């Protein structure tokens, strides 16, 4: 009888361990998406500034844009700043959701009566 209870407890702990590891993978993915959004905003803003400067230089020589080069650069700086801020804002919000989900999983792992302290530390990556 004792052997049966022990094997059931082990199976429960393994099942919970797998479930919690999957939950941590999901939270890490959410946090990564937020970080990538912030990085994408920086890269896109840099590209807008880079190509804006090129267009301003070409426009000054060939009158392509119909605007003075300074105006093209100012427009590019404003657009790049707004784009960078929007991407950063959404990246921070998405990362925050991932961090909150991770803290919920941490609480679930920490308070689970079916896990030993050793399993808890393995699951939480401590």
Number of domains in the chain: 1
Average pLDDT, the chain: 85
State which residues form the domain around 96: 30-105
End-to-end CA distance of the chain: 34
Task: Please state the pTM of the whole predicted model.
Answer: 0.78
The answer to whether residues 100 and 69 touch, using CB atoms and an 8 Å cutoff, is no
Indicate whether 98 belongs to any domain. Answer: yes
User: pLDDT tens digit string along 63-87?
Assistant: 555 678 788 889 899 999 999 999 9
Determine which of 1-5, 108-112, 113-117 has the lowest per-residue pLDDT on average.
Answer: 1-5
Closest by Cα among 102, 116, 119 to 23? 102
User: pLDDT tens digit string along 18-52?
Assistant: 888 899 999 999 999 999 999 999 999 999 999 98
Indicate whether 125 belongs to any domain. Answer: no
Q: Please, what sign has the CA dihedral across residues 76, 77, 83, 87? A: positive
Cα 97 to Cα 82: distance, rounded to the nearest angstrom = 23
């Amino acid at each position: 009888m004792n052997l049966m209870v022990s094997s059931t407890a082990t199976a429960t702990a393994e099942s919970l361990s797998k479930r919690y590891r999957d939950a941590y993978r999901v939270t890490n993915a959410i946090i990564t998406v937020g970080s990538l959004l912030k990085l994408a905003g920086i890269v896109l803003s840099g590209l807008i500034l880079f190509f804006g400067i090129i267009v301003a230089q070409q426009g000054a020589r060939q009158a392509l844009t119909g605007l003075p080069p300074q105006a093209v650069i100012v427009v590019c700086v404003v657009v790049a700043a707004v784009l960078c801020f929007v991407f950063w804002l959404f990246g921070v919000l998405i990362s925050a959701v991932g961090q909150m989900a991770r803290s919920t999983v941490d609480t679930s792992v920490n308070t689970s009566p079916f896990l030993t302290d050793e399993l808890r530390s393995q699951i939480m990556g401590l």
